[in-house]
Structure 1
Amino acid sequence: MTVRSPERRVAAPWVRTRLRTAPGAAAALALLVAVTAFLAAALPLVTDRYGDAGLRRALETAGPDRTTVRLFAPPDGFVVESGWQGTDGRGWDGPEASLRPDAMRDSYAAVLASAGRSLPLDPGQSTHGVRTTGKLTVPDPWLSRPDDLPPRFSLVAQHGLADHARLRAGRLPEARGTVTATTRTVEAAVSSETARKLNIGVGSVLHVPGTGRAPLAVRVTGIVDPRAPRGAYWSTDPLLRTPGLVTVPGDPERSRYWIGALLLAPGAAPAMLGTPGGPERYWQLAPSVSALRGHDLPRLTSVVASLVSGPLLRQARTATSPDTEADTSLDDVLADHARLRSAIGPLVSVAVFGTGTVAAAVLLVAGGLAADRRRAELALLRARGGSLRGLAGRLLAETAVVAVPAAALGLAAARLAVREARPSHAVAAAAAVALLACVALPLRAVAAHRAVRVRTAREDVASVRPSRRRTVAELTLFVLAVGAVVALRTRGVSDGPEEAGAPGTSGDQLVSLAPVLVGVIAALVLVRLYPLPLRGLARPAGRLRGVVGPLALARAGRASGSAVLPLLALLTALTTAAFGGSVLSGVADARDRAAVLAVGADARVASLRALPSDLADRVRRVPGVREVTPVGITYFAQPQDGQMTVQMAGVDPAGYAALSRHTDIGPFGPDALRASGDSGTGPLPALASPAVADHYGTRPFAVRLDDGSFVTVRIALVRERTPALGDQDFLVVDRSGLPAHAARPTSLLVTGAHPDGAALREAAGGGAQVRVRAEEFAGHVDSPLQSGAERVYAAAVAAGAGYAVLALLLTLLRAAPERAALLARLRTMGLTRAQGRRLLVLESLPQALLAAIGGTLTAWATIRLLSPGVDLTTVALSVSSSPAGRAVLRTDPVSLLVPALAVVAVTVGIAVAQAWWTGRRGSVRELRAGDAR
């Protein structure tokens, strides 16, 4: 008779029994895994979303004229040097046939099919057609002539005009019969702006010059409005919808003339062969912005390069003409976006790696806590013959039943919260969380119960001696971490990624792992050093008169010796929080500095002409305005030698000096700039830029003002910048010494707490420009990559702080039953409630202080390590060349100290709360619970 294995018969009941026995622990584990899986899965989804949005914003900002790929080729057999004859001897037949709609439609379909397989295209905005490459002068006298110069036009026969335009007047042009190079009359439409600005109406006839023939008469049959004027159909060549004024090159009088476009029917394209415009065929491929994905950036860059000069261009030449060429600025747009992405990626990864390390440490601490809680049970199973494999299998099944569904729930919640992103990375992140949660308890149990023990020896931090294996493992990890940090420091952290748009190079990963590496070093060192002061203080503390101090010190020494993971979690969380706070603070400071330098004050009201005399009083009454400093600016002041042109500002020395101190832009003492009492007898003291000071020195020199008058100045101060004039070559003088015309204020520099921009504009009226510091500050974020990176960074730091608190709670929870029983016993021996609270607080303080001081030092070291090579300019500002210069990482005292103090406060709060709760429950109950344990 076959007997079933006992292990197989009880495997499922074991899992059910354990879940029913400890439903609270199972629910807590499920909640922890679900939240962690949600955060882990949401991170790549959110990163993908803001990466996609950043790429789309980059293309939208660049505009279709830069992002559309244009293919162009001359008509088949068309050679200008041969007297406008086809090279095949058939006269015009070859070129005309290649320009007709059927031939263009077939070639466009082939180009669209080959390119669309690699680059997402928008068929609705992509198009094709024929146009003249040169602008043709139309001499009709009734057309608008700004400087008595005739306008010039391009002839454009673009496919799809009926689908992309609304007819405002007349009808769309048609090609009647078979149009050839000798056709005398064709029909055309114009945009409403072209019609309005060039005085064109329905029925107007424009005479375009011909080549070896009479002028081509172009009759305007319709006026159209674009349906989507900013779309690629109309904006790849903006001349189709909006005419432009062009200045004649080299003309000293800067005469101007209009240029515009006449929209012919596609069938009328052969008529362009009879003009000197040099017709060409073109195919416009507009990318589908909504279909582009940020993670495809390297592939998109490769595809665009292939379209411009690669295999895709060869395929296009096969479908169109051997002479086809391509032109686009899309590759430059993608390269600029890749540089922004590669600069932002490593900084965000610092927070992601730090928070991920903290979360992983918390999961491992939770598994270790569960193993310690069930130490007696698992030891009994091993003593009764249970195998390590069987024990690990049961614990793995028990944990997987809870962790896997919880991780799946977290993944589903993340997918519901963040749609339209790649699911693969989210699934991998959630699976990693589930795997770590499943193996934490079995691995800890296997490590603790490798040998069968009946009695467990003390494992407190003050008495335990680490094993040789642990020492070797810690030394190995320590050496690897130190080596990585040294390599990072010697290599420099500013090395960019080797591949544009791919922030996953080894250098970037090393930068991102720096806080974790420093945290590992600090945790290993602190755990080794922590017992030394406890052992040293144990004997002197025994001679103290009170009982609470020596007992608390002894209790601190009895803490668990396996404190590396909780300490690592706390140190990494504190380091990440301090680093993240310093990054966010540095970004805010850089933006604020750039805004101050751009405005020169908290707000500026400026005009090229003198402002009304009562405007300063009106501005002072605006909410938020504290002080108004009038400044008269001469924009083209010229020193007498005529070698340079400078800007001169006439100011009130006292008010302007106060403004300079407030903005920290070239501060100075007002006495050095104040004019003497006899203003007409001596030179005016001046504050100058370095270039002006180097050129003129300290000798007096005359300066010619805009109105032709002269003033004599002498340079008394030199500053790199000044609030009124920025970083141009400048002179600043006391306006009381200037002529009345130059002394009139043209700008008002406003200081105050958040001046109201709308109220300032209302007070200034329409004749002055108003710039507000707060608006300039907000304007430095122009890409979703920047704003998304900031939000991800803030969320990662907040999540890391939450996990740090949870690690602290788990660490204290491990000793909570023993502490409760101890307090109950001591209460029966006469310990008061106040003494009990002090005992728990003093017992918890050494570990809390260890984490707080270690975290502060670790964060400071990490910031000092990374700051020389971390450039925050790309994250902070909308342009790479900022007037504020390079934004670097600096230590933020608030971010450094507040998290550390929070750790101490949470520890003390938990100790006080536990003492209060234990006092409420009563000593008898706690004694029984302690005895049971």
Structure 2
Amino acid sequence: MTGPAATTAPRPTGTAPGTGHRPAPWVRTRLRATPLAALLTAVLALGTVFLATAFPRVIDRAADQGLRDFLRDRGTVATSMYASAALVGGAKTLDDDAAVLAAHVGPTLAVAPGGLVYGARSGKSRSLTNPGLARPEAVDPEMGLLYVQGLREHTTLAEGRWPDAPKGASAPVPIALVRDVATTVGIHLGDVLNTAETLQGEEPRKAEVVGILNATDRNDPYWADLSCPVQACLDFTRGKQPFAYWRLTGLVDGSALDAVQTWQTGAQDFWRIPVDVDRLRADRLGRTDRELAAYLTGNTANQLANATSRPGLQITSPLPDLLDKATARQQATAPLAAIGPAGLAGVGLVVLGLAAALAGDRRAVELRLLQARGGSRTGVVGRLLGEGVVTVLLPAALAGVLALWLLPSPRWAGAVLAGTAVALFSLLALPVRAARLWSRPRAGSSRRRLAGELTVLALTVAAVAEVRRRGVAPTGAGVDPLLVAAPLLLALTGGLLLARLQPLLLGAFARVATRRPGAIGFLGLARAARGGTEGERPSVLPLIALLLAVTTAGFGSTVLGAVDTERTHAARLTIGGDASVVVPIGVPVSEGFAEAAAKLPGVRASARIWADTEVFVLDGNGATRVFAVVADPVAYAEISRSLGRGAFDAAALSGVTGGADAPVPALVSTALARKLGPGATHRLRLPNGGELLTSTAGTVDGTPALQGDDRQFVVLPAGPAVALAPELDRSNLWLATGSVDQDRLRSLVREKIATGAERATAFPTAAGEGNGDLPGYSVRTSAALSAALAADPLQSAAARLFWTAVLGAGTLALLAVLLTLVRAAPERTALLARLRTMGLRPRQGLTLILIETLPQTLVAAVGGGLVAVAAVALLGPAFDLSILVGADIAPGLPVAVPPVLLPTVGLAALVSAGVVAEALIAGRRQIATELRAGDQR
């Protein structure tokens, strides 16, 4: 038919034969049907993939930054390369050779911008004989000459003029002095400084002070290691009785290098080449070390000697030792840095598996319906993958890009690999679970579960046994994967065991609850014992997630706590107590100082001590050199007991029975006692030549005044020993226990000891050595030493990374519990609604929810804490914390409850708060929405 009639013919209905049918788009329909579930899936994928991509970047950045901070804290002197050669040519030659030296630095070693320092200096200092110069102990000051390039950029001219070339061979050398140097030594503008004839017979020289300079910044690295150019240095003569004298440096012009050459034998050109530590990378330490070795003594060094025409060119650097230490410390902190992220990864995988299991359980009816209507496994899995592209892959790609952008790092392969693995796991978890519906049910699932659990148990036992057998991987092997995996395997085994025991324990509690009035407790415990819901639920997964989080936190916290404890103990052993004062030879620790120091806040016990190494025990076999200690026995015994080194009974050294010839009782070291024999009487030869008769009153394995326990020593009581040898009353050491403030103790030393020795005026405060002590004095406290040992950027970075991972693992564990509660909430709410119709009050409903949901959280928290303690007990002997502590200590990780208790309680409180919040929300749902007609739940 043609014409208008054709346009008015009725169209066939959609159900008539031949009608075209276009099925609704699967992905769009599913996303519209369950928008909240799709959104939660996307958020979960975004968060887990971001963490998986970010943590490798965080680890890399932390390692790099820790290395750079570690080197930067050591200062420019420690991170530079030093080249030196005999002084030849002039300033132009120095400039040319500096350019050559800087140009040959390798690709991983870069010169710090603006940090190259070079010049020429005289071989040694020469004594200045001018009258009126400062001579602290009647020793002439000594001065050397220095030319350093860039002097005018780092100083300002205060008086006079800049130095220039000498007017003639016999004319004085024009020099400039920094004002602080001139003031300290007593030199003025225009002075002509005369030198004495040297031991090598070199003729006296003269130098004229033509300029007084002000240093722009005395702490500028430019001045480092230049032999006192901006501040006079107090030095001491060598010998049994050292005497103090000032040492200074005169600054000359580049045109006066001939004068530097003739000032003293051995003048040298020098170049300091500071390495740019901000360019160093932790993953390239091996390559950097090889380049550095080539520059110092290898092919590069030979090339530089030829290029500069200096066959005697010597290049040294403390940097190789620093890099070795950094590598060792990095490898020591690697397990701690890896345990946290490994625990986070384990919890994350459990959460993703739990989310897939809950999604599959929620959609089981839908998938079975598709199967009954002839849907193929391939078709359904393909459609689920299509959903995953929108809900998983797109958020995962966004998360990966964000992590790479927000956390820049030169290494990206590990981050991309980890993010991709997590994204694929998230994408495939639900389709794989759905595909199982098309598989024939197989009998013996309980046997398969038992076989799987036994396999995990066997792997755990093997891992623990191997770690205990061989210990931690040796230095240079990198992160020990077995040591990192062992705590996680223990946590997994503990989770599987708790999953077996939890129904039995809760069932027992439920039976006990039947004897008490009311049905709420029994009903809640009974539901908790069987999983809380009708049908199969993956209840073991949130238990494992929480157990992994608690175990990881407890184990790592124990390691950190042990490091802090051992560091404090090591600091006390090094000090000999909690505070010590060591004075120069000839300056005694007075009784007035000891009395005033004993009254300082926090001091519990203190003692004046005479200690010397020049004491000999005379016996039939000759003389044995020993370390002698003379102290008040009561105070010294208290210090020994508090320190835990060489504790003894003060009564063993109390008094002397008999006449003046009676031997003085003495404590001797175990090694010395074996040599002398028990109860023997021997003579001690003192440093001044006198002798003292002693008898062995006991043996000890150590003593506070002596660091280390492998030396031979004797301890004498002060009263009897001083009575027979008065020179032993000139104490040179003060020890104390308690919380002593170092600054107050140092001030007291200045006031009571230094003033008494008339050194406060001779040695001005400005001449101190940076730590605030007067030269020759040492004031230390264990708290300050412990803080210095703890100021390790590598360890701090590892600790921050660990706690960040613990926080992330705890958050994911909370999410795992909440996912389970949210999935079971409809069924639980329906039950509450039905119970409300039977008279259940709202408060009772809330109690029922808490009794049903909290036990799993509390059991997992307690179980995780116990597993953490077990992990420390089983794996602790494999740990050597010496590098982390910063001192040699006995290997092993002690079991301690407080470090485990804090993270356990914290994570349990976090998860419990989430459970309570969910229970409050669930308890407020309306009954009318749950008891509608046709409810099938």
Q: Which TM-score band (shorter chain)?
A: 0.7 to 0.9
Instruction: Return the match for 2:472 from 493, 505, 508.
Output: 493
> Residue 699 of structure 1: which of 674, 680, 688 is its match?
680
| SS class of match (1:891) | coil
Where does residue 320 of structure 2 map in the other structure? 331
TM-score (norm 2): 0.77
1:135 to 108, 117, 124: 124
> Aligned partners of 1:908, 1:723: CA distance in 2, in Å?
49
Aligned equivalents of 2:934 and 2:347: distance in 1?
32
Instruction: Give how far 1:272 is off.
Output: 6.2
Distance 1:447 1:916, change over 3 A: closer
Q: How does 1:144-543 map to 2 (within 5 A)?
A: 156-175=146-165, 187-192=174-179, 195=182, 197=185, 199=187, 201-202=189-190, 204=192, 219-231=208-220, 233-238=222-227, 240-241=229-230, 261-269=249-257, 277=265, 280-321=268-309, 323=311, 324-380=313-369, 385=375, 386-405=379-398, 415=407, 422=409, 424-425=411-412, 429=415, 432-433=418-419, 436=422, 439-440=425-426, 442-452=428-438, 465-466=445-446, 484-498=463-477, 503-504=478-479, 508-523=480-495, 529=500
The alpha-carbon deviation at position 335 of structure 1 amounts to 1.9
Whole-Å separation in 2 of the counterparts to 1:534 and 1:245: 75
- CA gap of 1:4–1:128, structure 2 versus 1, over 3 A, is farther
How far apart, CA to CA, are the structure 1 residues paired with 2:595 and 2:143?
50
Consecutive unaligned residues in structure 2, runs of 5 or more? 1-18, 754-777
Equivalent position SS for 2:25: helix
1:774 aligned onto 2:783: yes
8 Å Cα contact 2:360/2:433 also seen in 1: no
Residue in structure 2 matching 1:647, options 610, 613, 628: 628
Which position in structure 1 is the counterpart of 2:568? 592
CA distance in 2, matches of 1:492, 1:852: 29
Q: Could you state the TM-score of these two structures normalised by the residue count of structure 1? A: 0.77
Q: 2:893 aligns with which of 886, 889, 894?
A: 889
1:689 equivalenced with 2:669 (yes/no): yes
What letter corresponds to residue 555 of structure 2 in structure 1? Answer: F
The alpha-carbon deviation at position 644 of structure 1 amounts to 2.9
Task: Look up the equivalent residue of 2:469 and give its one-letter code.
Answer: T
Structure 2 SS opposite 1:931: coil
Q: Distance in 2 between matches of 1:636 and 1:813?
A: 74
Q: 1:156: Cα distance to partner?
A: 4.3
**Which segment is superposed worse, 354-363 or 585-594?**
354-363
Matched residue SS, 1:792:
helix
2:834 maps to 1:811: no
Q: Distance in 1 between matches of 2:860 and 2:215?
A: 66
Number of the residue aligned with 2:797: 788
Task: Tell me the amino acid that sits aligned with residue 170 of structure 1.
Answer: G
8 Å CA contact 1:615–1:763 kept in 2: the answer is: no
Establish whether residue 71 from structure 1 lines up as the match of residue 59 from structure 2. no
Q: Secondary structure at the match of 1:511?
A: helix
User: Aligned partners of 1:317, 1:614: CA distance in 2, in Å?
Assistant: 58
1:26 aligned partner: 39
C-alpha deviation, 1:798, in angstroms: 3.5
SS at match of 1:496: coil
SS at match of 2:387: helix
CA drift at 1:397: 1.2
- CA distance in structure 1 between the partners assigned to 2:729 and 2:203 by the alignment: 64
Q: What CA distance in whole angstroms lies between the structure 2 residues aligned with 1:183 and 1:708?
A: 52
**How far has the Cα of 1:174 moved from its partner?**
3.0
Which range moved further: 343-352 or 185-194? 185-194
Q: Distance in 1 between matches of 2:86 and 2:864?
A: 69
Aligned-residue sequence identity (percent) comes to 29
| Structure-1 residue corresponding to 2:116 | 126
Deviation per CA, 1:97-118: give whole Å up to 9, x if none. xx14444433433332332755
State the partner residue of 1:109: 99
Decide whether aligned partners of structure 1 residues 199 and 715 sit closer, same or farther in structure 2, where only a CA change above 3 A counts: same
Asked if the contact 1:396–1:442 (Cα under 8 Å) also holds between the matched residues in 2, the reply is: no
User: Comparing 48-57 with 297-306, which one deviates more in the overlay?
Assistant: 48-57
SS in structure 1 at match of 2:631 = strand
Measure, in 1, the Cα distance between the counterparts of 2:692 and 2:307: 72
Per-residue deviation, 1:121: 0.9
Q: Does structure 2 conserve the Cα–Cα contact (< 8 Å) formed by 1:125 and 1:286? A: yes
Instruction: Give yes or no for contact 2:31–2:38 (8 Å, CA) kept in 1.
Output: no
The Cα offsets for residues 521-546 of structure 1, whole Å up to 9 and x where unpaired, read as 4455665x559959998999999998
Cα deviation for residue 872 of structure 1 reads 1.6
Distance, in Å, in 2 between the alignment partners of 1:917 and 1:660 is 61
- Tell me the residue number matched to 2:655: 675
How far the C-alpha of 1:867 sits from its partner, in A, is 1.7
Residues 288 and 827 of structure 1: CA distance in aligned 2, closer, same or farther (over 3 Å): same
Equivalence for 1:10: 25
Indicate the residue corresponding to 1:52 in structure 2.
65
CA distance in 2, matches of 1:213, 1:630: 51
Aligned AA for 1:301? D
CA distance in 2, matches of 1:919, 1:532: 25
Contact 1:354–1:800 (CA under 8 A) maintained in structure 2: yes
After superposition, residues 722-801 of structure 1 pair within 5 angstroms as 722-723=703-704, 727=708, 730-732=713-715, 735=718, 737=720, 739=722, 754=739, 766-767=751-752, 771-801=780-810
Task: Report the more deviating stretch, 208-217 or 575-584.
Answer: 208-217
Q: Decide whether aligned partners of structure 1 residues 833 and 591 sit closer, same or farther in structure 2, where only a CA change above 3 A counts.
A: same
Aligned to 1:720: 701
Q: Distance in 1 between matches of 2:22 and 2:845?
A: 50
Describe the shift of the 1:714–1:406 C-alpha distance in structure 2 as closer, same or farther (beyond 3 A).
same
Is the partner of 2:115 in helix, strand or coil? coil
For 2:432, give the aligned amino acid: V
1:872 maps to a residue whose letter is: L
Q: Which runs of 5+ in 1 are unaligned?
A: 76-94, 416-420
CA root-mean-square deviation: 5.1
Aligned-pair distance for 1:590? Answer: 0.6
| Cα gap change, 1:909 to 1:74, in 2 (>3 Å) | closer
